[in-house]
Structure 1
Amino acid sequence: MNLYQFSDNRCLRILLANFITNIGNGLHILTVGKILYDFTGQTLSFGFVYIIEALMSITLQIYAGFLVDNYKAKNVLVFSDLLRGITVILCCLGCIYFDHVFLFIIIITFVINIAKPFYRSASFVIITKILDDEEEINKFNGFQSSFIQAGQIIGIALVGVLMLFISPYTILIINGASFSLSAICLITVKVNDNLNKYTYSNCSLKNLVPDWVNLFKQLLKNKQLLTLVVVATGDYLFVNFFNLSLAPLVSERLNNESLWLSVLDMSFAISSILPGVLWPIISKRDVNYLVLICLFFNTLSFIVLSFARAKIIILFMSFMIGGATAASNILLYTKIQFLSEQNMRGKIASMRNLLFSLLTVSLIPLVTQTQSISLSKGFVLCGIIVFIYLIIYIVAVKKNIVRF
């Protein structure tokens, strides 16, 4: 499948913007962690970044979706990228010329995580304002998934190389430039919105609660959409389970060889790209069948990892989890977009992200605590959680709640 098969070339610019901004995301997380570690001398600094992100995501998701539904998704995307880009560059210059490193890094982390919920909700919405054909949207989401993964892989790979030649602060300036370049790409995308609809008064907080109440009423009537939103939280959650398990897995099963940490992570990332590349083949299959297969393979993979010792099996299971989560995410993402009404898509995206954040905060401590007792039991617990998602979807299909 060729990228130029899209009926609208604006899709290419959005994909390019996604690719560039995710290079920035890949650069950001490792570089900030390294700066904080150098400054504090504690590995807890890496966890600090994730904790801040989860807490801020829960806090801001409610308004992010509301804003995107009542204002222009494109403007939200552009402003989010510009805010991140300018803040990162200015704070890095502050780190270089002033002796307040920790303060500036806190500001960077704070601003980036303020922008992220708004960016995610707007990304979910903007393509539906350009394309109205489900097959085209499906194709776009497949490519977008691949571009996001490829961008993050390149960003993470670049960090190690760049740190050999330049300081972490200079890398973060490049990170800021990537966000700004993404904003420029998005500025060139023309979106035909109804200008009369979008006013600042629509985004007033007094309309926030009624908007969300209306959404919940709609979801209670549309059980298919509600089920898909709930099940779609699993794909992000399973990725977190895998990432949490990497370090103890390498330590206990692979002789603590750091090379295997990169090998397994790269295997997962490459397999996450493949569903987008192979989408012409995948899209010919029944959606329910594919989602069920993906959930089954994820369940199987975590259970097998609970007892696997052979390197080739561990590598294959990592590959399988990456591909299955990516394929399921693309399928569910598109169906949710297509089934959602135009004026509620931003809140739908925020609701999915909010549910994911709440599940992360509640389940991750349970998984990590279980892993600290026994890695095998930790993997079994992950498998059980994925299996619950599988049962939910099977019941929904059997009762004809989910039907395509």
Structure 2
Amino acid sequence: MPWIVFSEFSINVARGLFTLALGMMLYQATDSLWSFAFVYASEFFIGLFVQGYAGTCVDKHGAKKVLLGAALVNVLILCVPIILGAQGNAQLIMFVAFALNMIRPFLRAAIFALIPMLGSDDKLEKINAYTSMALQCGQIIGMALASILLEFASSFWVLFTVFSGYTCAFVFYVLTVWVIKSNQVKMDKEKPNPGSWKEVGTYLQGDKNRIFTFVFPSIDYASLALFNLLLAPAVKHNFNDLARWLSFIDGAFALGAIIGGVVASKIKLNDKNRFEVSLLLMLVCALIFVGYAFDASGWIILPVTFVYGVLITVSTVSWIAAQQRCTKPEIKGRLASVRYISNASFSAVAAFLISYFNDFSFYTASVAAAGLMVMCFILAVLLKTDNYQGIFLRSKSSA
């Protein structure tokens, strides 16, 4: 199993712990979704201004150097509050959160570019599936640690655990780069011509299926943003604010995502099947929100959430592999930036829109979220063309 899987596990334990601890603090302090939506908004604006530069750095300096540099900076950022002994300083912790968000685009672009170097073309789904499972398992453990540490330990141990997760991730990233270098993969050599943004535009406009491949999957991430956004208020309004239901629902999704990762590692969807899975997950996600709106039993919400977890993992893993296959080596960093900017944009717009409706009532927000998913489903069906079967584009063969 590639070392990058262990690095993604470690860093997502830390992220799950840090995000849940910070999110709980903000929601309890404001009793509003706006603070939670602000997390998506901050990632959107940071991604908008930094992600493009991150992709350029990957193309110019190489994915390996950017990955190790960004991972090391993360560790140094988390050293600051620990050394200063200011773990309880909310302003400093917020600064740390924003600083980590500033670095994350560099990590994402580098990882997207590195994964094809870890195996042959037919193993992309398997590597991405393992990475996705590591992400979900890491987040589950991170959230579990958050609930334990927030109740029984001080803020120092919360931050120290986050620091440890990022440090372990850095070590595994080093091992990942070492394996790539030791294998002497020819495609890993630095390119003398790193490409340009003009070349990215020309490449994407050369075939509408390329734009479709990089933009359409953003709907998956928007649905996930809404699922996370409405989870806490759903527990409050529909489940008597019982924390165990937060764990049940989140656990059902995570279990489904892990099973989905196993499925995705065993199969290779063609373009038509991948599109159909995305359509199906939109409807399943809408069913969850309809259940929230009409106060459906938790024993109905749980299996639907499980199915949603399976579908979104299978869909995202398959789309990521397709994107990596149609990426030209000299602009792979910039194309990764296009992907993440699109994902962040869709997620931020969806989060702000539903937060606005939540100001009227949770029922209104749930109905609006379900309606948004149905609208995306209808638009996707209407905009589908007969020649989208050319999604699997291989830059190697066209070079």
Length-normalised TM-score, structure 2: 0.85
- Closer, same or farther in 2 for the Cα pair 1:389/1:63, shift >3 Å? farther
Q: Which residue of 1 aligns with 2:13?
A: 23
Decide whether the 8 Å contact of 1:303 with 1:383 is kept in 2: no
Say whether 1:146 aligns with 2:133. Answer: yes
- What secondary structure does 2:216 align onto? helix
1:1-400 alignment runs, 5 A limit:
3=1, 12-33=2-23, 41-42=29-30, 48-96=38-86, 101-131=89-119, 133-188=120-175, 189-190=177-178, 191-192=180-181, 193-195=188-190, 197=192, 211-283=196-268, 285-303=269-287, 305-307=289-291, 309-371=296-358, 372-373=360-361, 374-388=364-378, 390-391=380-381, 395-396=384-385, 398-400=386-388
- What secondary structure does 2:189 align onto? coil
Name the count of aligned residue pairs: 376
Decide whether the 8 Å contact of 2:27 with 2:36 is kept in 1: yes
Q: Which residue of 2 aligns with 1:207?
A: none
- Closer, same or farther in 2 for the Cα pair 1:32/1:86, shift >3 Å? farther
- Closer, same or farther in 2 for the Cα pair 1:401/1:277, shift >3 Å? closer
Decide whether the 8 Å contact of 1:91 with 1:107 is kept in 2: no
Structure 2: where are the runs of 5+ without partners?
182-187, 393-399
Distance, in Å, in 2 between the alignment partners of 1:125 and 1:92 is 32
Decide whether the 8 Å contact of 2:263 with 2:314 is kept in 1: no
Cα offset for 1:195? Answer: 4.8
Decide whether the 8 Å contact of 1:22 with 1:151 is kept in 2: yes
Aligned AA for 1:236? Answer: Y
Cα offset for 1:298? Answer: 2.6
Aligned AA for 2:15? Answer: N
Cα offset for 1:60? Answer: 0.7
- What secondary structure does 2:192 align onto? coil
Decide whether the 8 Å contact of 1:250 with 1:256 is kept in 2: yes
1:147-181 deviations in whole A, cap 9, x for unaligned? 11111111111111123442122221221122122
Distance, in Å, in 1 between the alignment partners of 2:313 and 2:50 is 25
- What secondary structure does 1:340 align onto? coil
Decide whether the 8 Å contact of 1:367 with 1:382 is kept in 2: no
- What secondary structure does 1:96 align onto? coil
1:15-43 deviations in whole A, cap 9, x for unaligned? 111111111111211233466689xx545
Distance, in Å, in 2 between the alignment partners of 1:326 and 1:194 is 31
Decide whether the 8 Å contact of 2:14 with 2:162 is kept in 1: yes
Distance, in Å, in 1 between the alignment partners of 2:370 and 2:24 is 32
Distance, in Å, in 1 between the alignment partners of 2:391 and 2:23 is 44
Decide whether the 8 Å contact of 1:305 with 1:317 is kept in 2: no
Distance, in Å, in 1 between the alignment partners of 2:200 and 2:191 is 22
Cα offset for 1:58? Answer: 1.7
Which stretch shifts more, 253-262 or 117-126? 253-262
Structure 1: where are the runs of 5+ without partners?
4-11, 203-209
Cα offset for 1:115? Answer: 0.6
Cα offset for 1:72? Answer: 1.8
- What secondary structure does 1:306 align onto? helix
Decide whether the 8 Å contact of 1:302 with 1:380 is kept in 2: yes
- Closer, same or farther in 2 for the Cα pair 1:35/1:361, shift >3 Å? closer
Distance, in Å, in 1 between the alignment partners of 2:215 and 2:168 is 34
Distance, in Å, in 2 between the alignment partners of 1:364 and 1:36 is 16
Distance, in Å, in 2 between the alignment partners of 1:169 and 1:324 is 38
Cα offset for 1:67? Answer: 0.9
- What secondary structure does 2:217 align onto? helix
Decide whether the 8 Å contact of 2:289 with 2:369 is kept in 1: yes
| Alignment root-mean-square deviation, CA | 2.6
Aligned AA for 1:56? Answer: I
Q: Which residue of 2 aligns with 1:6?
A: none
Distance, in Å, in 1 between the alignment partners of 2:8 and 2:366 is 37
Q: How much identity, in percent, do the aligned residues show?
A: 25
Length-normalised TM-score, structure 1: 0.84
Cα offset for 1:120? Answer: 0.7
Cα offset for 1:376? Answer: 4.5
